Protein backbone atom coordinates (compact mmCIF):
# COMPACT_ATOMS: atom_id res chain seq x y z
CA UNK A 1 0.00 0.00 0.00
CA UNK A 2 1.69 3.15 -1.18
CA UNK A 3 1.84 6.22 1.03
CA UNK A 4 1.28 8.52 -1.90
CA UNK A 5 -1.37 7.46 -4.35
CA UNK A 6 -1.10 8.24 -8.02
CA UNK A 7 -4.26 10.31 -8.00
CA UNK A 8 -3.83 11.36 -11.62
CA UNK A 9 -4.42 7.73 -12.67
CA UNK A 10 -6.92 6.52 -10.07
CA UNK A 11 -10.49 7.66 -10.66
CA UNK A 12 -11.86 10.19 -8.18
CA UNK A 13 -14.89 8.07 -7.35
CA UNK A 14 -12.57 5.24 -6.26
CA UNK A 15 -10.45 7.53 -4.09
CA UNK A 16 -13.59 9.05 -2.56
CA UNK A 17 -15.01 5.65 -1.56
CA UNK A 18 -15.23 5.70 2.23
CA UNK A 19 -12.60 3.27 3.62
CA UNK A 20 -14.90 1.40 6.02
CA UNK A 21 -17.53 0.56 3.42
CA UNK A 22 -14.78 -0.28 0.94
CA UNK A 23 -13.14 -2.70 3.37
CA UNK A 24 -16.44 -4.40 4.17
CA UNK A 25 -17.24 -4.76 0.47
CA UNK A 26 -13.85 -6.29 -0.33
CA UNK A 27 -13.90 -8.74 2.60
CA UNK A 28 -17.44 -9.96 1.91
CA UNK A 29 -16.73 -10.22 -1.81
CA UNK A 30 -13.67 -12.40 -1.15
CA UNK A 31 -15.62 -14.67 1.21
CA UNK A 32 -18.33 -14.90 -1.42
CA UNK A 33 -15.79 -15.90 -4.07
CA UNK A 34 -14.38 -18.57 -1.75
CA UNK A 35 -17.85 -20.08 -1.40
CA UNK A 36 -18.27 -20.51 -5.18
CA UNK A 37 -17.98 -24.09 -6.40
CA UNK A 38 -18.24 -23.93 -10.20
CA UNK A 39 -15.83 -22.61 -12.81
CA UNK A 40 -18.34 -20.42 -14.77
CA UNK A 41 -19.44 -18.43 -11.71
CA UNK A 42 -15.85 -18.10 -10.48
CA UNK A 43 -14.70 -16.87 -13.90
CA UNK A 44 -17.55 -14.34 -13.85
CA UNK A 45 -16.43 -13.09 -10.42
CA UNK A 46 -12.86 -12.81 -11.68
CA UNK A 47 -13.90 -10.87 -14.79
CA UNK A 48 -16.04 -8.59 -12.63
CA UNK A 49 -13.06 -7.87 -10.35
CA UNK A 50 -10.92 -7.07 -13.41
CA UNK A 51 -13.61 -4.74 -14.70
CA UNK A 52 -13.71 -2.98 -11.32
CA UNK A 53 -9.99 -2.22 -11.23
CA UNK A 54 -10.03 -1.08 -14.85
CA UNK A 55 -12.91 1.30 -14.12
CA UNK A 56 -11.00 2.59 -11.10
CA UNK A 57 -7.90 3.26 -13.19
CA UNK A 58 -5.69 0.77 -11.34
CA UNK A 59 -2.70 -0.40 -13.36
CA UNK A 60 -3.26 -3.89 -14.73
CA UNK A 61 0.53 -4.31 -14.92
CA UNK A 62 0.79 -3.85 -11.17
CA UNK A 63 -1.93 -6.45 -10.62
CA UNK A 64 -0.11 -8.92 -12.89
CA UNK A 65 3.06 -8.43 -10.85
CA UNK A 66 1.12 -9.34 -7.74
CA UNK A 67 -0.09 -12.48 -9.49
CA UNK A 68 3.54 -13.46 -10.01
CA UNK A 69 4.19 -13.10 -6.28
CA UNK A 70 1.51 -15.61 -5.30
CA UNK A 71 1.92 -17.89 -8.34
CA UNK A 72 4.77 -20.04 -6.89
CA UNK A 73 2.71 -20.78 -3.77
CA UNK A 74 -0.33 -21.63 -5.91
CA UNK A 75 1.71 -24.00 -8.05
CA UNK A 76 3.01 -25.76 -4.95
CA UNK A 77 -0.60 -26.41 -3.96
CA UNK A 78 -2.14 -27.25 -7.32
CA UNK A 79 0.54 -29.38 -9.03
CA UNK A 80 0.63 -32.08 -6.28
CA UNK A 81 -3.16 -31.96 -6.27
CA UNK A 82 -3.35 -32.71 -9.99
CA UNK A 83 -1.28 -35.88 -9.62
CA UNK A 84 -2.62 -36.98 -6.25
CA UNK A 85 -4.27 -40.02 -7.84
CA UNK A 86 -1.40 -40.94 -10.16
CA UNK A 87 0.05 -39.74 -13.45
CA UNK A 88 -3.41 -39.47 -14.96
CA UNK A 89 -5.10 -36.17 -14.10
CA UNK A 90 -8.75 -36.63 -13.19
CA UNK A 91 -11.41 -34.10 -14.15
CA UNK A 92 -12.27 -33.48 -10.50
CA UNK A 93 -8.67 -32.66 -9.58
CA UNK A 94 -8.29 -30.42 -12.63
CA UNK A 95 -11.49 -28.55 -11.82
CA UNK A 96 -10.46 -28.11 -8.19
CA UNK A 97 -7.00 -26.81 -9.19
CA UNK A 98 -8.53 -24.33 -11.64
CA UNK A 99 -10.91 -23.12 -8.94
CA UNK A 100 -8.01 -22.54 -6.55
CA UNK A 101 -6.15 -20.46 -9.15
CA UNK A 102 -9.22 -18.45 -10.13
CA UNK A 103 -10.20 -17.73 -6.53
CA UNK A 104 -6.66 -16.68 -5.59
CA UNK A 105 -6.35 -14.35 -8.59
CA UNK A 106 -9.80 -12.90 -7.92
CA UNK A 107 -8.94 -12.26 -4.28
CA UNK A 108 -5.66 -10.59 -5.22
CA UNK A 109 -7.44 -8.46 -7.82
CA UNK A 110 -10.03 -7.29 -5.30
CA UNK A 111 -7.36 -6.67 -2.65
CA UNK A 112 -5.69 -4.34 -5.16
CA UNK A 113 -8.68 -2.06 -4.68
CA UNK A 114 -7.66 -1.62 -1.05
CA UNK A 115 -3.96 -1.33 -1.81
CA UNK A 116 -4.18 1.24 -4.60
CA UNK A 117 -7.13 3.50 -3.77
CA UNK A 118 -6.18 4.54 -0.24
CA UNK A 119 -3.20 5.27 1.94
CA UNK A 120 -2.06 3.17 4.87
CA UNK A 121 -3.41 5.81 7.24
CA UNK A 122 -6.86 5.59 5.67
CA UNK A 123 -6.77 1.81 5.96
CA UNK A 124 -5.91 2.00 9.66
CA UNK A 125 -8.64 4.58 10.19
CA UNK A 126 -11.13 2.22 8.58
CA UNK A 127 -10.07 -0.56 10.97
CA UNK A 128 -10.44 1.79 13.92
CA UNK A 129 -13.84 2.89 12.62
CA UNK A 130 -14.94 -0.75 12.47
CA UNK A 131 -13.95 -1.16 16.15
CA UNK A 132 -10.99 -3.46 15.50
CA UNK A 133 -8.94 -3.92 18.68
CA UNK A 134 -6.22 -1.24 18.99
CA UNK A 135 -3.52 -3.87 19.59
CA UNK A 136 -4.25 -5.45 16.21
CA UNK A 137 -4.06 -2.06 14.49
CA UNK A 138 -0.78 -1.29 16.23
CA UNK A 139 0.73 -4.63 15.21
CA UNK A 140 -0.36 -4.16 11.60
CA UNK A 141 1.01 -0.63 11.44
CA UNK A 142 4.37 -1.60 12.90
CA UNK A 143 4.59 -4.67 10.67
CA UNK A 144 3.97 -2.50 7.63
CA UNK A 145 6.60 -0.01 8.75
CA UNK A 146 9.35 -2.44 9.68
CA UNK A 147 9.03 -4.81 6.76
CA UNK A 148 10.64 -2.07 4.67
CA UNK A 149 13.47 -1.71 7.18
CA UNK A 150 13.89 -5.48 7.10
CA UNK A 151 14.15 -5.44 3.31
CA UNK A 152 16.59 -2.54 3.51
CA UNK A 153 18.80 -4.57 5.85
CA UNK A 154 18.74 -7.47 3.41
CA UNK A 155 19.77 -5.19 0.56
CA UNK A 156 22.64 -3.75 2.58
CA UNK A 157 23.88 -7.22 3.46
CA UNK A 158 23.73 -8.25 -0.20
CA UNK A 159 25.79 -5.21 -1.19
CA UNK A 160 28.30 -5.93 1.57
CA UNK A 161 28.60 -9.56 0.47
CA UNK A 162 29.11 -8.61 -3.19
CA UNK A 163 31.74 -6.05 -2.22
CA UNK A 164 33.66 -8.95 -0.64
CA UNK A 165 33.44 -10.92 -3.90
CA UNK A 166 30.75 -13.28 -2.65
CA UNK A 167 29.01 -14.71 -5.74
CA UNK A 168 26.51 -17.04 -4.13
CA UNK A 169 25.76 -20.51 -5.40
CA UNK A 170 25.18 -23.80 -3.64
CA UNK A 171 28.17 -25.16 -1.75
CA UNK A 172 29.09 -26.06 1.82
CA UNK A 173 31.10 -22.86 2.22
CA UNK A 174 28.33 -20.66 0.81
CA UNK A 175 25.68 -22.32 2.96
CA UNK A 176 27.74 -21.42 6.03
CA UNK A 177 27.92 -17.83 4.82
CA UNK A 178 24.18 -17.74 4.20
CA UNK A 179 23.63 -19.04 7.72
CA UNK A 180 25.87 -16.33 9.16
CA UNK A 181 24.03 -13.64 7.18
CA UNK A 182 20.63 -14.88 8.33
CA UNK A 183 21.84 -15.05 11.93
CA UNK A 184 23.21 -11.50 11.75
CA UNK A 185 19.94 -10.32 10.24
CA UNK A 186 17.89 -11.88 13.04
CA UNK A 187 20.15 -10.43 15.73
CA UNK A 188 19.93 -6.99 14.15
CA UNK A 189 16.13 -7.26 14.00
CA UNK A 190 15.90 -8.27 17.67
CA UNK A 191 18.20 -5.40 18.69
CA UNK A 192 16.07 -2.94 16.71
CA UNK A 193 12.86 -4.22 18.28
CA UNK A 194 14.32 -3.73 21.76
CA UNK A 195 15.46 -0.18 20.93
CA UNK A 196 12.05 0.67 19.50
CA UNK A 197 10.28 -0.79 22.52
CA UNK A 198 12.41 1.23 24.95
CA UNK A 199 11.93 4.39 22.89
CA UNK A 200 8.15 3.94 22.81
CA UNK A 201 7.81 3.12 26.51
CA UNK A 202 9.92 6.16 27.41
CA UNK A 203 7.30 8.23 25.57
CA UNK A 204 4.44 6.63 27.56
CA UNK A 205 3.12 4.66 24.60
CA UNK A 206 0.11 2.62 25.78
CA UNK A 207 -0.34 0.37 22.75
CA UNK A 208 -2.86 2.59 20.99
CA UNK A 209 -2.04 4.44 17.79
CA UNK A 210 -3.87 7.72 17.57
CA UNK A 211 -5.79 8.04 14.31
CA UNK A 212 -8.02 10.77 13.02
CA UNK A 213 -11.80 10.27 13.10
CA UNK A 214 -13.28 8.48 10.11
CA UNK A 215 -15.15 10.42 7.46
CA UNK A 216 -18.91 10.36 7.11
CA UNK A 217 -20.44 7.56 5.08
CA UNK A 218 -22.54 8.92 2.22
CA UNK A 219 -25.33 7.34 0.21
CA UNK A 220 -22.90 7.02 -2.71
CA UNK A 221 -20.57 4.93 -0.53
CA UNK A 222 -23.44 2.61 0.33
CA UNK A 223 -24.28 2.37 -3.37
CA UNK A 224 -20.72 1.34 -4.32
CA UNK A 225 -20.63 -1.27 -1.57
CA UNK A 226 -24.09 -2.58 -2.42
CA UNK A 227 -23.11 -2.95 -6.08
CA UNK A 228 -20.17 -5.23 -5.27
CA UNK A 229 -22.14 -7.26 -2.74
CA UNK A 230 -25.13 -7.58 -5.05
CA UNK A 231 -22.87 -8.99 -7.78
CA UNK A 232 -21.37 -11.72 -5.60
CA UNK A 233 -24.75 -12.55 -4.04
CA UNK A 234 -26.24 -12.94 -7.53
CA UNK A 235 -23.43 -15.34 -8.46
CA UNK A 236 -23.99 -17.40 -5.32
CA UNK A 237 -27.74 -17.44 -5.93
CA UNK A 238 -27.30 -18.40 -9.60
CA UNK A 239 -24.94 -21.20 -8.66
CA UNK A 240 -27.34 -22.64 -6.10
CA UNK A 241 -30.34 -22.15 -8.40
CA UNK A 242 -28.67 -23.89 -11.34
CA UNK A 243 -27.43 -26.64 -9.03
Q: What is the pLDDT of residues 54-97, one digit of tens each?
A: 999 898 998 999 999 899 888 888 888 887 777 777 888 888 98
| Confidence at residue 242, expressed as pLDDT on a 0 to 100 scale | 66
44 vs 60: CA distance, rounded Å: 18
| Confidence at residue 223, expressed as pLDDT on a 0 to 100 scale | 93
Contacts of 95 (CB under 8 A, 6+ apart): 39
Counting as low any pLDDT under 50, the low residues of the chain are 2-5
| Confidence at residue 2, expressed as pLDDT on a 0 to 100 scale | 47
CB burial of 150-168 (b: ≥16 within 10 Å; e: otherwise) equals: eeebeeeeeeeeeeeeeee
Residue spans of beta strands (DSSP E) within 34-95 = none
243 vs 241: CA distance, rounded Å: 5
Contacts of 81 (CB under 8 A, 6+ apart): 93, 96, 97, 100
Write phi, then psi, for 83 (nearest 5 degrees).
Answer: -105, 25
pTM attached to this predicted model: 0.76
Pair 19, 123: CB distance under 8 Å: yes
Among 62, 58, 158, 75, CA closest to 113 = 58
Task: Give whole-number Cα distances, 94 to 76, 169, 235, 241, in Å.
Answer: 14, 36, 22, 24
| Confidence at residue 227, expressed as pLDDT on a 0 to 100 scale | 92
Q: How many CB atoms lie within 10 A of CB 50?
A: 17
226 vs 243: CA distance, rounded Å: 25
Pair 63, 53: CB distance under 8 Å: yes
Pair 199, 191: CB distance under 8 Å: no
| Confidence at residue 119, expressed as pLDDT on a 0 to 100 scale | 83
150 vs 129: CA distance, rounded Å: 29
144 vs 119: CA distance, rounded Å: 12
Amino acid sequence: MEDQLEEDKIRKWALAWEPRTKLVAVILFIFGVISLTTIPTTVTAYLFSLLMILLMGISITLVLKRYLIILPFLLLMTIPLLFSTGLTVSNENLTFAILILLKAFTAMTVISILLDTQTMEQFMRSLAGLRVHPIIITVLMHSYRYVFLFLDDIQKMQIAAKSRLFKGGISIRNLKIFGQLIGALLIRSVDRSERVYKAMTSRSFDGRLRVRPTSTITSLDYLKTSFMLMMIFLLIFAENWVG
